[in-house]
Structure 1
Amino acid sequence: MSKNDDSLTELFDKEGNQIGVLISADLWAQIKPHIKQFIPSEAPKERPEPIKDWEILKEYWDFPYPVDTDVHCEHCGTRTENWETDTPRKFKLASCNLGGLVSFKCQQCNARIVKKHFKNEITVECTPYIDEKSKNMEARY
């Protein structure tokens, strides 16, 4: 590889020790079949629900309407009046912040339900899960 080739970038820590390599998408496509056997194949572990963040949001709730616990998946039709008390859970809390942005993952179809709590209203967005990601939508560096 020449010095001017930007398909491979070596990464170093502040002491100058090599800590990794950044590979372009094109180079990765070429070498992945040859090194696949060395890549761990464990499925990523699902993160625990950020319940503490939800509790903080409820503690500082200052919206003019009561705490909102109903969730509905427009994609598969799964619905609950109180996601916190469902056993087993129909929706898992994926993220939550003090600004009122709350995100859930539907356990039936893996869709993402995002609830945006504004001062006088709540908006809801439901995005279906896509198993096959479009290569056109991948980030390029």
Structure 2
Amino acid sequence: MSDHINELFDRDGNLIGALLSAEAWTVVKKQVLDSLGIVDKHAQPEKPEPVADWETLKEYWDFEYPVDTDVTCEHCGNTTQDWASDDPRRFRLTSANLAGLVSFKCMQCQSKIVKKHFKDELKTECTPYRDSKDTSKEGRYSR
């Protein structure tokens, strides 16, 4: 059928299943499990959003510009004017701290959006989701 899908038939020619490549499975896994009502027991539960940390940052906000709540993903075009009021969420808060570093995960493409709040400016970085880590960036301890 394709490089990503191989249909499996029994000896009488009846379709009994399909074999997906790893690449195809990562693309359709969530939709397949959801449509069949299957709970992925190996999926890691998402940590709760650190909303208290965000509220602390807002409480001590002393930047020269107002608190910004807009988030945009450069990779898929997902955007919102107020991430906290979206239902369902378009972006999920993953971290926030008093230094002004705030991170989000795009719920559409899983990219990571980092907002760096400096005293007089705001810088935003958008990193595409990677299913596997780049081992060259892992910390190593030598003895």
Pair in the same fold by TM > 0.5 = yes
Unaligned residue ranges in structure 2 (runs of 5+): 1-40
Partner of 1:86: 86
Partner of 1:128: 128
CA shift in 2, pair 1:135/1:54, >3 Å: closer
CA shift in 2, pair 1:61/1:137, >3 Å: closer
Question: Is 1:48 matched with 2:48?
Answer: yes
Deviations 1:19-75 (A, max 9, x none): xxxxxxxxxxxxxxxxxxxxxx62211100000000000001001110010000001
Partner of 1:76: 76
Partner of 2:15: none
Partner of 1:103: 103
Partner of 1:23: none
> Alpha-carbon deviation of 1:132?
3.2
- TM-score normalized by the length of structure 1: 0.67
SS at match of 2:54: helix
In structure 1, distance between residues paired with 2:130 and 2:81: 26
Amino acid paired to 2:48: P
Partner of 1:36: none
In structure 1, distance between residues paired with 2:89 and 2:73: 13
> Alpha-carbon deviation of 1:139?
4.9
CA shift in 2, pair 1:137/1:116, >3 Å: closer
Unaligned residue ranges in structure 1 (runs of 5+): 1-40
Percent of residue pairs bearing the same amino acid type: 63
Q: CA RMSD in A?
A: 1.5
Amino acid paired to 1:64: E
In structure 1, distance between residues paired with 2:103 and 2:138: 22
